[in-house]
Amino acid sequence: MAAIETDYLVIGTGGSAMAFVDTLLTEDPQARIVMVDRHDRPGGQWNDAYSFVRLHQPAAWYGVASLELSDWQRETTGFNAGMWNLASGTEVLAHFEHVMKQFLATGRVQWLPKCEWLGAEGGTHRIRSLLAGDERRVAVRRKLVNATLARVEVPSTHPPRYEVMPGVRCVPLNALPAIQRPFANYTVVGSGKTGMDACIWLLENGVPHERIRWIMPRDPWMVDRANLQPGPEGWRRNFEFSMVQFDAICEARDLPDLFRRLEAGGALMRVDPAVEPATFRCAVVSRGELAQLRRIGEAGGIVRLGRVTRIEPARIVFERGELPADADTLYVDCSASAIQALPGVPVFDGGTINLQPVRFCQPLLSASVIGWVEANIADADEQNAMCLPVRGPDRPIDFLHMWRETLTNAAHWRQHRAFSAWMQSCRLNPQAVILRGVEITPEVKKKLSEIAERAAQAGGRAAELLATLAAA
């Protein structure tokens, strides 16, 4: 069979790939693209997520640039009442499905679902069907786009790394909705966003706080959802949120002082004010949800003995101790790590584009930015100067690294007029979307310039602080 010829071969049809292709199609009317993914539907990890997953950031700035995802309705019940609706995983998948149909309708995109990219050989790329098993070749005129670097792990695809002994009922959180009988106790293993979601889901569905045990290997810093509410009622708070972060970076003496300031200013929150968090992973929760999570702790249900190493019917063994367990316990595994370290490669790497975040906790805006840069800037050095990879969050110190890298990119972006104009109108850009429906008065303009000035200072100060911390 003759090789398929294309300008770009994109490995993956997850959110990053979709956002990149969407912008590239708009910005480069000639580009022809082949997309390949092991999944049968676009949306990547959202296909493997639990049925009750919801976006934790606003839908207003998620998805692809050319199509709205938010329904702009507010939550009327539950722990997020009054806030903008949290899009469900189903809505996110429907968005990407619709977008793929639009791609195909252009006649410029060819989609190869249930296919695996095997690598390049003799100048062409090998693609194998996971169903038929046959191989096809793809000849790439311009670039290969690697949209797989997020390597998102979710509990349904990554089994627990601890031992589960016979007689113990342990399920990934995907299995929760199918549970048909009450258990005496529910133990949630993992303190990341999925662990929080499992606890909240159990509480929403009537399980009392006292029957939930939450195993928390590392306490997380969390972002207050109230800081991320676009529109006339939310923009002031969001501007304050930005200023609190930049002020804290500019004025902090050391890392504990930085986080004290971030917490005092309402930017970040923690489960227990007496416990110093050991991780920051961009998790977003509302104060209503946090109050519920805290009640699990008040009932004595939060366990801080490190990671689980083994679960037996009558006890749980941890890195730093053990606890007796009720035999009638359902263990809910939430231990998969959604965020992985970056591979240490540039975004524009010869004939390959490595999609990576170029903005603090904004993977899809980042992919769209890279699509714009690819279409509009020819020089690879300039492309990379605008797209320094921003590491994924893990430890608290990453908060500083991520801002330093984000603000370095932002400084380059400001110098490029066409790019700045595009960013101002990009629906994936939180800073543009936050002002939706807001009259741009002199007060708004003044606040915007104050934020920009403080951000520039914070970029320099973040670098200094990191250097001091490294030397200490």
Ligand X SMILES: Cc1cc2nc3c(=O)[nH]c(=O)nc-3n(C[C@H](O)[C@H](O)[C@H](O)COP(=O)(O)OP(=O)(O)OC[C@H]3O[C@@H](n4cnc5c(N)ncnc54)[C@H](O)[C@@H]3O)c2cc1C
Chain positions contacting ligand X, by CB under 6 A:
11-17, 36-39, 44-46, 49, 53, 55-57, 62, 116-117, 147-148, 150, 152, 154, 193-194, 338, 363-364
Nearer to ligand X, 114 or 447 (CB): 114
Nearer to ligand X, 4 or 258 (CB): 4
Query: In the β-sheet with 308-312, what is the strand arrangement from edge to edge?
Result: 163-164, 308-312, 315-318, 321-324
Whole-number minimum distance, CB 355 to ligand X, in Å? 7
Indicate the DSSP class of residue 143. Answer: E
Whole-number minimum distance, CB 417 to ligand X, in Å? 27
Whole-number minimum distance, CB 33 to ligand X, in Å? 15
Nearer to ligand X, 147 or 402 (CB): 147
Q: Which amino acid is at 144?
A: L
Question: Token match 């690294």: residue?
Answer: 401
Whole-number minimum distance, CB 302 to ligand X, in Å? 21
* Interstrand relation of 315-318 and 321-324 (parallel, antiparallel or unpaired): antiparallel
| Neighbouring residues of 446: CB distance < 8 A, sequence distance ≥ 6 | none
The two three-digit tokens of residue 295, written as one number: 């009640």
Chain centre to alpha carbon of residue 352: 23
Closest to 333 measured CA to CA, from 203, 191, 177: 191
End-to-end CA distance of the chain: 61
Q: Which amino acid is at 374?
A: E
Whole-number minimum distance, CB 184 to ligand X, in Å? 28
Distance CA 175, CA 122 (A): 45
Whole-number minimum distance, CB 241 to ligand X, in Å? 16
Distance CA 215, CA 120 (A): 44
Whole-number minimum distance, CB 300 to ligand X, in Å? 27
Whole-number minimum distance, CB 175 to ligand X, in Å? 16
Whole-number minimum distance, CB 55 to ligand X, in Å? 4
Nearer to ligand X, 96 or 318 (CB): 96
- Give the H/E segment covering residue 446: helix 442-471
Burial label, 406 (beta-carbon count in 10 A; 0-12, 13-18, 19+): buried
Nearer to ligand X, 156 or 329 (CB): 156
CA angle in degrees (0–180, nearest 5) for 395-423-370:
60
Whole-number minimum distance, CB 357 to ligand X, in Å? 9
Closest to 459 measured CA to CA, from 269, 245, 264: 245
The two three-digit tokens of residue 366, written as one number: 């980042």
Question: Token match 């619709």: residue?
Answer: 98
Indicate the DSSP class of residue 177. Answer: G
| Neighbouring residues of 202: CB distance < 8 A, sequence distance ≥ 6 | 176, 186, 188, 212, 332
Distance CA 195, CA 243 (A): 30
Closest to 171 measured CA to CA, from 192, 181, 183, 156: 156
Nearer to ligand X, 25 or 150 (CB): 150
